[in-house]
Structure 1
Amino acid sequence: MSTFSFATVIVAFVVSTYGHDCTKYSLTPSDQSIIDMMKHYLHTSRKADCPVTPSKQDIGVTYVRWGKKTCPEKSDIVYTGQVGGNYYTNKGGGSNWLCLPNDPENGKAYSYSNDGLYGAEYQINSSNNPSGFPASLYDKEVPCSVCRRKGKVSVLMIAGRTSCYKGWKSEYSGFLVSEYKSYNSKDFICMDGDAEPLDNRSSNEEGALFYPVRAKCGSLRCPPYKNNTEVLCAVCTK
């Protein structure tokens, strides 16, 4: 029954109860029960039309913490996993990094030749190791975690800084990394400055490869940037 027709019933009921001469009559328990039912219907029908305002507990943002199996303090972990991506010499396929869960729901095996998802390895050794970055990660697979920060509405990765701007909260900081410049293109991501291996295995299985990025002066203005320096980064929320 629509609100309009229900309101018509209420008017008819009031007229029959009070009379055409506006004389007030006593309501029986049955009459009062009908009125209460009508009030309940109108309240619930109008409430359904009102927008629902999410509580602060329901508000939050998600981000990937690259290189770590845990989330920062005050952030909840959605899931932990390992980094995946396209093979470093493939010219087609995806160009982004993925945080793949450790408990996948796998599809059926098939023979189509588009095998475009591989694990990712650190390609960071003594010759290209950023300052303060763990030196024992070469050829180790890369973990990741998807984190949720309650009460925040924006998340931002800032390349070139380890601190956030005023009003923003740092979730973690580290070094800008991507695929090597002569391989297939990948996103720039912020690798945690305290990165760890997925496990103890180290077998150079290739796949998607992480290299640190350095700044190159020219169209990139120096100053404020400096030539051949490691590029720092921070993930910030607000």
Structure 2
Amino acid sequence: MYFANLTIVLATVILVVYSHECKYYDLSDSDQSLVDMMKHYLHTLRKGECSTKNKTLNTGVTYIRWGRKSCPKGVDLVYTGQVGGTYYSYRGGGVNYLCLPNDPENGQHQSFDNDQIHGGEYQLTSTMKPSGWSESMDNKEVPCSVCYQKQKSAVLMIPGRKTCFKGWNSEYNGYLMSGHKGHYKRDYACVDKNAEPLDNKNGEESGALFYPLRTKCSNLRCPPYTNEADVLCVVCTK
């Protein structure tokens, strides 16, 4: 409030001084002091605004786009890679999928028995696949990409929707996938609706597996959900 009042006072003084009918005069020491104070105040104010703007420009969030080698248009690609994780039948190890870069810096060879990082594969059949997907994706390795969205401060994966809520921006949408219910627990991952294979290699080597999911109405309220339906998902930023 003080600075606002000061601004009004100084602006009034400067206006009076420079609008005076006499065009040829020298500013007194007190006049010049007021002008200098005004300049200093405006410089400080603008500097603060500039600092805030720069902080906004330097913010951003990262997310993993499962099933794709690239990021959405306008989003920076940090790196592209392939999915890795613990073998589906191992009781121990991590439950999360990993996005392993295609240009790793490998450690030294080891002989101990704790191999946990395997590749990831799609597990599909003619009767168990997301709508619109081809069965030919079965046993193909899963690609991934790490994406950086500038000027955002939050990222959220919403299960059960293909669009974001008001005020959020959609990065991509797809199908919720995870391990099979008969295997050991695995994270849920939002796999892009236009998922692709890592390459043309084909062969069942298992590893960290991706199965499509469906809903089951019991204590899951139907409506609003429907029974035995694809579980959609969307990744949103704000």
TM range (shorter): 0.7 to 0.9
Q: Secondary structure at the match of 2:135?
A: coil
Distance 1:145 1:76 in 2: 10
Q: 2:153 corresponds to which residue?
A: 153
- Unaligned segments of structure 2, at least 5 residues: 1-50
Q: Cα distance, 1:56 vs. partner?
A: 2.6
Alignment RMSD, CA only?
A: 1.4
Q: Secondary structure at the match of 2:127?
A: coil
Alignment of 1:1-238 (within 5 A): 55-238=55-238
**CA deviations over 1:33-91 (Å, ceiling 9, x no partner):** xxxxxxxxxxxxxxxxxx99853331100000000000001210000000001100000
Letter in 2 for 1:148: Y
Q: Cα distance, 1:130 vs. partner?
A: 1.3
Query: 4+ residue runs of structure 1 moved beyond 6 angstroms?
Result: none
Distance 1:169 1:134 in 2: 29
- Unaligned segments of structure 1, at least 5 residues: 1-50
**CA deviations over 1:190-234 (Å, ceiling 9, x no partner):** 000000000000011111110011111112111111111110000
Larger helix percent: 2
**CA deviations over 1:75-126 (Å, ceiling 9, x no partner):** 1000000000110000011100000000111111111101011000000221
Distance 1:193 1:231 in 2: 11
Distance 2:54 2:88 in 1: 43
Letter in 2 for 1:209: L
Calculate percent identity across the aligned residue pairs.
Answer: 57
Task: Answer with 134-143 or 90-99: which moved more.
Answer: 134-143
Letter in 2 for 1:72: P
**CA deviations over 1:152-177 (Å, ceiling 9, x no partner):** 11100000000000011110000000
8 Å contact from structure 1 (residues 120, 210) kept in 2: yes
Distance 2:142 2:165 in 1: 29
Letter in 2 for 1:59: T
Normalising by the residue count of structure 1, what TM-score does the alignment of the two structures yield? 0.76
Distance 2:139 2:183 in 1: 17
Letter in 1 for 2:89: T
Distance 1:54 1:153 in 2: 14
- Counting matched residue pairs gives 188
Distance 2:155 2:74 in 1: 15
Distance 2:184 2:146 in 1: 25
Q: 1:26 corresponds to which residue?
A: none
Letter in 2 for 1:55: K
Letter in 1 for 2:62: T
Letter in 2 for 1:93: G
Q: Secondary structure at the match of 2:186?
A: coil
Letter in 2 for 1:222: C
